[in-house]
Structure formats: structure tokens, C-alpha cells
Amino acid sequence: MTSTRQGERPHVLIIGAGIGGLCLAQGLVNKGITAAVYERGPGATFRGQGTRLSLKQPGTDALRACLPPHLMELCVATSIRPATRMIFMDHRLNPMFAKPIPPSTPESGFGVNRLTIREILLAGLDRIVHFGKAFTSFEQSDGTVRAHFSDGTAADGDLLVGADGTDSAVRRQLLPDAGMDSLHWSIWGRTPIVPGLDIPEELIDSFNRVTGPDDVALSVATCRTREPVSAAAARISPGTALTPIPDYFSWMVSLPDEFRDAGAATLHRLASDRVREWHPGVRRILETADVGATFPVNIRSARAVEPWPASNVTLLGDAIHTMSPGRGEGANTALRDAHLLRDILAVATDPAEAVARYETEMLRYGFAAVAQSRTAPFAPVKTPKGAMLHFRRSEYHIAPW
């Protein structure tokens, strides 16, 4: 990078208002560094990609460092009540393995609803987040960078951060040879928790895996926030509007490849068919699901890339190291990137050196996480009794939905 503004704090252009890009924006604003976020979507509304995220210590540390304290408090208050035990069962709900999960503290991690965390991360950023701006390309000259958008507009800055997710357009231009593997597909859905819904106790508040014949597998996560989100916002951060999140089950069923382009109704029917002969309690969850909220997920994993010469364009989160959610690391790693880059930029005197330091460290832990996620992404493992399970016992602390 030609460092024409050496010694000055850079103006940062962030492409993508996902969890990583927004955490970086919050962290930069917090340190008095100017930033602008460009998001192609029309607003904060939920995008189909699972309905819940499990955050572990690197993720919660990043939020704590980058968010103002009241927004961090709001994250904890609106977090999802943790699972109390891990249970693996067959399709008749006969337990094959069960173990209590030790209580966790907000420091060690918590589950969050994706929409809620995005709304919290957007709080206070109205003036710097620009929706409806689809990035198309960048141009570098003389130590500055210009981002172009599909509506014909452009923005100038000193540093451009591609936080634009798995199909990153920034990565396509910066690292055209970076590759990605598609590992498998699954169907995700949600079922409202309503009075009288008779669901087996084993499937409630547990980290579970139900495995049927032909290796079809289903998991159900109970998503109930510690406190109603609107009440928590009114108490902790009046002025932050959070969309109410009624209690729900989030479920996932493995999906054969040929159905990946199907619509919600077909996917829901397919998921229901797959558990047709299973325990009635499992069938009930699918029968009472919100059909329109059923969607397919392609689990992808980035191939390791060699370090490249640092410049005033860099990448963060899934844009560089997308990974299987099998270990629940993707969002945590994106948040860790945001935290690291923010800390480095906060004290940087030479932006080129700052990006080089960030990329060296980020590539090390980012691709270590990708490699680990590949080794356990829902991979069947044998129990001592010979049953096939889809998680290792030691992984009870992660929730892959």
C-alpha cells in the first residue's frame, strides 16, 4: 500500500452489514475511527441462514470489546436460554448417549437469535450504514481505494474491508483463485412453541441429535430468550427497536443434493417424509412448523489460501474463511477478526503494516478453524455400543444451528 496518509487514522469502507462487518463498525466508531458500511440488502431483516447462532468466548469477547456496555448488556439479556443436557437418540427416541451440560456464564458464551443480534449491532449506526448498496468492484490508487456499487455510485476511503460473506465480491477481485468446497446440504425450519404443543421432554432445552434409518439425522434447538426482547430493549437501551421473537424450535434435517433448489413447501414436505416413521413427538415438530420458514442450507468450506501482498483492501469473516457450522465457529471467527482488526487499526501509524499484521494473524487462526470444522462437520462417529452418531462426545458445548 502506498501510505500517503501515514500517521493519520484511515477512513474505513466496510462491505457487508453481517455480524462481522457490523461488529467492526461498532468497534471503530468506539475508537473514534470513521467508517461507512455498505450492505446490498434492503434492511436488517433476517436472511435464511439458520435462525440461531451459538457464540463462544472469542465471539463474546469481541462483542464486549467493540460494543458500548449497554448494547453488550442487551445481547446477554436477549440471549437464548442455554441447553441443559446433550442427548443422542435413535428415531424412536431411545437414548444412546446422554450427559448434563454444565451451566455457562455470559462470559463463556451464549446463543443469540440472528435477527436480534443484527438489530443490536446496528444500534447507533444509522448514519454510517447504507442499505441497498451492492458492491461490484474496487479501484486502488495512491493510497486510497474507491468502492463501486451496482447503482452506479462510488465511495472513497483509505481501507476497504470485504465483510461480504461466503460469496464475497471483494474476495473475487482480490483473490480470484481462492476456492471453496460444497460439503453437503440440509433443510432448516422453525416451529412456534405454542401452549398445548406436546413435545417430548428429551427434545426440549437439549443439545440433541436424532438419528434414523439410512443415516437421516435431525436436530432440534429450543429457542427461548432469557427476557422478551422488546422488554429488555426498553429496560436497557430505550430507543433500540428490537423485533419481537416468539419462542420457537429451530430444526435441521439432512437433505439429499437433488432437492437443493426446491421451494419452502417442497422442502418441508421432504423433511416431514424423512421422519414419517419416527416417534410421534418428532413428527409433531415438523407437522406444526411454519412451512414458509423452511429453507435449504449449503454447507461450504473455504480452501486454504497462501498469504498475499498486503494492500488497502482486506477481508474478514466468511468472505475469507467460510467454514462448516459443525463446530459453531464461523460467526465467532468473524467476530474475532473484527476485534483484531479494530485493535490493530486503533494504534496503527502505518496502515500497510496494520493490514499485514491483521492478515498474518487472521489467516493463522481462521484457516485452523476451517480445517477443524472440516474434520467434524456432522461426520458420523461410532459409539462404544457401535451406534452411528453425528457428533463427537467432546463437542457437546457447541450448538450447530
Ligand X SMILES: Cc1cc2nc3c(=O)[nH]c(=O)nc-3n(C[C@H](O)[C@H](O)[C@H](O)COP(=O)(O)OP(=O)(O)OC[C@H]3O[C@@H](n4cnc5c(N)ncnc54)[C@H](O)[C@@H]3O)c2cc1C
Would you tell me which residues interact with ligand X (CB under 6 A)?
15-21, 38-41, 49-50, 53-54, 134-135, 163-165, 169, 297, 317-319, 325, 328-332, 334, 399-401
Of 27 and 330, the one with the shorter C-beta distance to ligand X is 330
Of 135 and 249, the one with the shorter C-beta distance to ligand X is 135
3-state SS, one letter per residue, for the chain: CCCCCCCCCCCEEEECCCHHHHHHHHHHHHCCCCEEEEECCCCCCCCCCCCEEEEEHHHHHHHHHHCCHHHHHHHHHCCECCCCEEEEEECCCCEEEEEECCCCCCCCEEEEEHHHHHHHHHCCCCCCEEECCCEEEEEEECCEEEEEECCCCEEEECEEEECCCCCCHHHHHHCCCCCEEEEEEEEEEEEECCCCCCCCHHHCCEEEEEECHHHCEEEEEEECECCCHHHHHHHHCCCCCCCCCCCEEEEEEEECHHHCCCCHHHHHHHHHHHCCCCCHHHHHHHHCCCHHHCEEEEEEEECCCCCCCCCCEEECCHHHHCCCHHHCCHHHHHHHHHHHHHHHHHHCCCHHHHHHHHHHHHHHHHHHHHHHHHHCCCCCEECCCCCEECCCHHHCCCCCC
Of 119 and 318, the one with the shorter C-beta distance to ligand X is 318
Q: Which residue is nearest to ligand X (CB)?
A: 18
The CB-of-195 to ligand X minimum distance in angstroms stands at 28
Of 312 and 332, the one with the shorter C-beta distance to ligand X is 332
The CB-of-78 to ligand X minimum distance in angstroms stands at 16
Of 54 and 222, the one with the shorter C-beta distance to ligand X is 54
The CB-of-50 to ligand X minimum distance in angstroms stands at 3
The CB-of-169 to ligand X minimum distance in angstroms stands at 4
Of 163 and 236, the one with the shorter C-beta distance to ligand X is 163
Of 234 and 262, the one with the shorter C-beta distance to ligand X is 262
The CB-of-92 to ligand X minimum distance in angstroms stands at 27
Of 15 and 236, the one with the shorter C-beta distance to ligand X is 15
The CB-of-19 to ligand X minimum distance in angstroms stands at 4
The CB-of-320 to ligand X minimum distance in angstroms stands at 8
The CB-of-328 to ligand X minimum distance in angstroms stands at 4
